Structure 1
Amino acid sequence: MKKLTILFAITLLMISCKTEEKKEVKKEKFPTELGKVFEKHGGIDNWRNARTLSFNKGEEAHTVDLWTRRTVVNSPNHSMGFDGKNVWLSEKDSGTYRGNPTFYYNLFFYFYAMPFVLADDGIVYEEAKPLTFDGKEYPGVKISYEANVGSSPDDNYIVYYNPETYQMEWLAYTVTFRSKKPSDRFNLIRYEKWEVADGFLLPQALTWYQKDENGMPTEPARPAIEFTLPLVQKTALKGSFFEKPTKE
């Protein structure tokens, strides 16, 4: 009877340890100020509990599994995506699409899912020089990646936020996909319109800006890109949704 009592106690201890392990919270490494930006836009914990994001960019419908980053982009002329292993382009349009699907399929997901994608694994944070526009100063956080993280680990981002509201206002970024070499040439985007969808503050319009000799924004470089039909869900889509369509 004594042996049974000891065995029962050990079993309870093992169950208790497993329960505690399940309750363990991931220790965040991002700066406190960036955490306030995440909170302003809906909260990083809420984002990590979400599973599917969809939005439209013009006639393109983008759908992303937020946990696996599997993606589908459908448009009237072509479709492309990432099935978890490979990037694909729809067979019927493979001879007419002039872009690079590997570069494009998740390009606007990263712009649209700001600032939350700046909490991905393998990120290094540091304070950046503030950006000034129309007499207002916006503090910045620079984001770089550890070696061998993603397809372009040498990319850098700087998120600039309103110091009073902690809403994201600007994004500076480099592009190293083609060169595979670090760059200090930053492009600059203004996040000028936002909307609340399913508890998250998501962008309605992005505008690329020209810069002066000091790297500060001056005027729009081209018309704004607009987004519509935002949707964030906690349910996942079937894996087959992200697979390349079978040839007709």
Structure 2
Amino acid sequence: MTLPFRLATSLLMAMPMLVSGAPATAEEFAGAIERAHGIDAWRSHRAVEASIEVIFGGETRLHGVMTFETQSMRVRIDQHSGTRLVFDGDRAWVSPGTADFDSARFHLLTWPYFLAVPFKLRDPGTHIELSGERDLGGVPHPTARLTFDPGVGDAPDDWYLLYRDPGSDLLHAMAYIVTYYGRPAEGEEEVHAIVYDGCVDFEGVTLSTRWRFHDWSEAEGIRGDPIGHVRITRLRFVDPPAGFFDRPADAREDPLPAR
């Protein structure tokens, strides 16, 4: 056997390992998820609209139509109850001002982020670090940890652990903590996870329409029965008119909690 032939054979034998192996760097990990979800198509549209229903503890916490920009993340949620929530890019508003709805700013920033997170992995001020393989449903999944610079967003102490599906490269699950209310230590004690199911394709983008929320621990990973659900329907890209994300005339502000 000649040397060139032996070299070519060795390369061919190694190729499956190179193709099927986990991403070698965090950038490759993020890029694989972005491509699988259709980041180029996502960026080509101004805003996305979807019906959303959020259920925790057997109670409906949010039910309506959510519209948000794909880049700047201005958000509007028109609830079926008649209450309107708006994040104008800086401040959160509840309309009418007499509406009994708490934590509007949290809801406005959380659910759009959880839907769009495959496209947010390399935003300014983010850091992603490989975290090895972890089991999900009996299948080892490559994972990576997402963190933020101080001052990024409302809760820069949050972190996310991303589970990349080894077959499709889609984001399959995500563990996370909530420090929005200014208590990082408590957030570390109550870690939860989303399992993303029911992916649909629309206009070149793939997103999950059924989310299950579970408890999560470093030792056990995703565990126990679901503690909450989110259902997404009627996904479509839209071009909202001028003033769509402005403060409603009769609104009250829902400020960031005091730290």
Q: Which interval holds the TM-score relative to the shorter structure?
A: 0.7 to 0.9
- Secondary structure of 2:86's counterpart equals strand
Structural mapping, 1:190-205, within 5 Å: 190-205=195-210
Aligned length: 215
Q: Which amino acid aligns with 1:41?
A: H
Q: Name 2:43's counterpart in structure 1.
A: 48
SS of match in other structure, 1:109 = helix
C-alpha displacement of 1:117? 2.0
Aligned counterpart for 1:75 among listed residues 73, 79, 84: 79
State the partner residue of 1:65: 69
Between the two structures, name the one with larger relative contact order (CA 8 Å, sep ≥ 6).
2
Q: Which residues of structure 1 form unaligned runs of 5+? A: 1-28
The 5 A counterparts of 1:171-210 are 171-181=174-184, 183-185=187-189, 186-210=191-215
Answering whether residue 241 of structure 2 is matched by residue 238 of structure 1, we say yes
Displacement of 1:215 after TM fit? 3.2
Aligned ranges for residues 1-248 of structure 1 at < 5 Å? 31-42=27-38, 44-58=39-53, 59-77=63-81, 78-94=83-99, 96-97=100-101, 99-181=102-184, 183-185=187-189, 186-211=191-216, 214-222=219-227, 224-233=229-238, 236-247=239-250
Task: Classify the secondary structure of the residue corresponding to 1:221.
Answer: strand
- For 1:91 and 1:45, the matched residues in 2 are separated by 37
User: How much is the aligned-residue C-alpha RMSD, in angstroms?
Assistant: 2.2
Paired AA for residue 33 in structure 1:
F
Q: Which letter does structure 1 place at the counterpart of 2:118? A: P
TM-superposition CA deviations, 1:162-182 (whole Å, max 9, x none): 122212111111100002536
Counterparts of 1:237 and 1:82, CA distance in 2: 14
SS for the counterpart of 1:115 is: helix
- Matches of 2:79 and 2:224 in 1, distance apart? 31
The amino acid of 1:35's aligned partner reads G
User: CA shift at 1:141, angstroms?
Assistant: 1.2
For structure 2, list consecutive stretches of 5 or more residues without a partner in the other structure.
Answer: 1-24, 54-62, 252-259
Residues 47-56 or 217-226, more deviating: 217-226
Q: Is the 8 A contact 2:88 2:245 kept in 1?
A: yes
**Residues 207 and 220 of structure 1 are in contact (CA less than 8 Å); yes or no, is this contact kept in structure 2?**
no
Residue 30 (structure 1) shift: 5.8
- What is the Cα deviation at residue 223 of structure 1? 5.2
- Percent of aligned pairs sharing the same letter: 22
Change (3 A) 1:93 1:55: farther
Kept after mapping to 2: 8 A contact 1:56/1:229: yes
Superimposed CA distance per residue, residues 47-101 of structure 1 (whole angstroms, 9 cap, x where no aligned partner) = 223210111113310001222211110012211111233211102543x22x211
Distance in 2 between the 1:170 and 1:177 partners?
Answer: 21
CA 1:176 to 1:223, structure 2 compared with 1: closer, same or farther past 3 Å?
Answer: closer
The normalised TM-score by structure 2 is 0.75
